[in-house]
């Protein structure tokens, strides 16, 4: 009886201890679950609020100046956040971003929501929208334009994405708690903090990205859900940096092109205007002077036409990836192209020397574009040569390349300027070898055409010695050259 009573007491004590252990265990799990859920939701809310405030800044910066860039940046940011970005006025009408669904519009038009936004307060909402079917997580901040609240910026995403992450963390905390009350509590808190740290890092990194430090990366220390999330974040960050750099590079090139074109147009337009006004105002005293002024106007008009033609040609080259190609025998092409310049060369007392090999030099290319290359190079050589000198055009072989060299006996190009002659609108010092009659686009066009033929073009020069431009094109050899129609 006494043993039976003791056994009963031990059993009750054991059950009590087990109950306490289970109670503390369940309580610990519940506390940790609530802490994890609260922390994740708070971090997500803070993150979205910060991004929404950045959207306000982006909207105020680009809405009136560049709507296209504004739309593209919203698309990039929405993809980065895996969420919809909506900008609406206080009545719930769409201003920018993603289209507004009917259920979201009901939220935006609720008096309580409108009142908080109009008062300058942020709104955080999680649940099913009125008339909707999916639980959503929503953050809204006031849209301030010049210190006035004109609407709201909303960032929303399915709540299932956040819940999935919360559930994964809860399971980790649950199995960790099984190891013991104290150990489980310490261990689960440690694990939770360790797993949540990448989220904190994401928030800090996202803040840096929003401030313009694109491309920031997070150290991936695991291969679980959080690790994959961190890896995805890094990929998003790198892609965002690449896209932003591409946008900035495009904008910089566009500004440079506008600046260059404006600079090139200014001089001929000024000359045309000045001489036209002189003729109209009766300042011309003789027929010869009038003819001289009109000739200058025609020359500058022709210069403008050449500039526009070269710009359109260069734009057309950049818009295509390749040409229509066929077998081209360079011997005949060089001969025909150079013949066109005999009269110009004779007018400047310049001898044109053509050196061609006896055997045919065959390549795969576009004959019209290659004629354009030779035309530019020979025309430059003649115009930049002194009277009574010689221009030599040579066709030959060099390993697996065909080459065409055009050598003049002009003043030459300074070595420090050779690397820049292929740039658009670049002109060598006019007091030396260039007379300012070209558009500055000829060599850019030559380089583009040759590169599209998988070739290369080089320039060598020495002051007082002249300049040699050499074009290299891949040869067609062996059986590939059989049956060529010349």
pLDDT tens digits, 124-158: 888 887 777 788 888 888 988 877 888 888 888 88
Q: Which residue has the higher pLDDT, 67 or 409?
A: 409
Per-residue confidence (pLDDT) for residue 471, from 0 to 100: 93
* Residues of each domain in the chain carrying CATH 3.30.565.10: 326-481
**pTM (two decimals):** 0.42
Question: Sorting pLDDT into bands at 50, 70 and 90, what band is 392?
Answer: very high
Residue 53 DSSP symbol: H
Is 326-481 a CATH 3.30.565.10 domain?
yes
Helix (H, G, I), strand (E, B) or coil at 355: strand
Q: Are strands 456-462 and 362-365 parallel, antiparallel or unpaired?
A: unpaired
Question: Sorting pLDDT into bands at 50, 70 and 90, what band is 428?
Answer: low
List the one residue out of 448, 468, 461, 479 whose CA is nearest residue 355: 468
Residue listed under structure tokens 């818009």: 319
Dihedrals phi, psi of 22, to nearest 5 degrees = -65, -40
Dihedrals phi, psi of 129, to nearest 5 degrees = -65, 150
List the one residue out of 44, 28, 40 whose CA is nearest residue 169: 40
Q: Are strands 456-462 and 94-97 parallel, antiparallel or unpaired?
A: unpaired
Is 24-213 a CATH 3.30.450.20 domain?
yes
Q: Which CATH number fits domain 259-319: 1.10.287.130, 2.60.200.30, 3.90.1150.10, 3.40.640.10?
A: 1.10.287.130
Is the pLDDT confidence value at 218 over 90? Answer: no
Per-residue confidence (pLDDT) for residue 356, from 0 to 100: 92
Residue listed under structure tokens 């010049």: 146
Q: How far is Cα 325 from Cα 284, in angstroms, rounded to an integer?
A: 54
List the one residue out of 445, 443, 452 whose CA is nearest residue 364: 452
* Residues of each domain in the chain carrying CATH 3.30.450.20: 24-213
Q: CB-based contacts of 311: which residues, under 8 Å, 6+ apart?
A: 261, 441
In terms of C-beta density within 10 A (0-12 exposed, 13-18 middle, 19 or more buried), how is residue 9 classed? exposed
Q: CB-based contacts of 112: which residues, under 8 Å, 6+ apart?
A: none
- Scanning 159-224, the segments in alpha helix (DSSP H) are 159-177, 181-210
Q: How far is Cα 127 from Cα 162, in angstroms, rounded to an integer?
A: 12
Q: How far is Cα 421 from Cα 444, in angstroms, rounded to an integer?
A: 8
Q: Which residue has the higher pLDDT, 45 or 37?
A: 45
């Amino acid at each position: 009886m006494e043993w039976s009573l003791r056994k009963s007491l031990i059993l009750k004590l054991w059950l009590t201890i087990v109950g306490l252990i289970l109670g503390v265990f369940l309580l610990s799990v519940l506390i940790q679950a609530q802490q994890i859920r609260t922390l994740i939701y708070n971090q997500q809310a803070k993150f979205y609020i910060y991004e929404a405030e950045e959207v306000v800044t982006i909207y105020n910066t680009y809405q009136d100046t560049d709507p296209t860039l504004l739309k593209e940046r919203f698309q990039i940011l929405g993809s980065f956040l895996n969420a919809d970005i909506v900008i609406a006025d206080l009545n719930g009408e769409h201003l920018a971003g993603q289209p507004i669904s009917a259920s979201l519009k009901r939220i935006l038009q609720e008096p309580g929501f409108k009142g908080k936004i109009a008062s300058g307060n942020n709104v955080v909402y999680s649940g099913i929208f009125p008339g909707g079917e999916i639980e959503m997580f929503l953050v809204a901040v006031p849209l301030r334009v010049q210190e006035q609240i004109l609407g709201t910026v909303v960032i929303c995403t399915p709540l299932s994405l956040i819940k999935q992450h919360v559930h994964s963390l809860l399971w980790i905390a649950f199995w960790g708690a099984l190891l013991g009350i104290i150990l489980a509590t310490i261990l689960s808190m440690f694990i939770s903090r360790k797993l949540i740290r990448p989220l904190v890092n994401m928030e800090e990194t996202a803040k840096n990205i929003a401030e313009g430090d694109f491309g920031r990366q997070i150290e991936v220390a695991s291969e679980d859900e959080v690790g994959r999330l961190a890896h995805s974040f890094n990929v998003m960050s790198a892609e965002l940096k690449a896209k932003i750099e591409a946008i900035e590079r495009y904008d910089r090139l566009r500004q440079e092109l506008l600046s260059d074109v404006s600079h090139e147009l200014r001089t001929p337009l000024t000359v045309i205007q000045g001489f036209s006004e002189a003729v109209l105002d009766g300042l011309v005293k003789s027929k010869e002077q009038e003819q001289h002024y009109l000739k200058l106007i025609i020359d500058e008009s022709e210069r403008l036409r050449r500039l526009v033609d070269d710009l359109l040609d260069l734009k057309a080259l950049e818009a295509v990836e390749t040409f229509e190609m066929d077998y081209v025998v360079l011997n005949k092409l060089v001969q025909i192209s150079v013949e066109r310049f005999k009269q110009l060369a004779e007018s400047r007392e310049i001898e044109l020397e053509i050196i061609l090999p006896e055997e045919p030099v065959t390549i795969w290319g576009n004959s019209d574009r290659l004629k354009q290359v030779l035309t530019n190079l020979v025309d430059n050589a003649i115009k930049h040569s002194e009277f009574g000198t010689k221009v030599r055009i040579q066709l030959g072989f060099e390993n697996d390349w065909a080459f065409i060299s055009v050598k003049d006996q002009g003043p030459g190009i300074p070595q420090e300027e050779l690397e820049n002659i292929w740039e658009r609108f670049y002109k060598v010092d006019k007091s030396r070898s260039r007379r300012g009659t070209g558009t500055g686009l000829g060599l850019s066009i030559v380089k583009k055409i040759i590169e599209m033929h998988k070739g290369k073009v080089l320039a060598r020069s020495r002051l007082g010695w002249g300049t040699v431009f050499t074009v290299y094109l891949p040869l067609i050899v062996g059986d590939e050259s059989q049956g060529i129609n010349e």
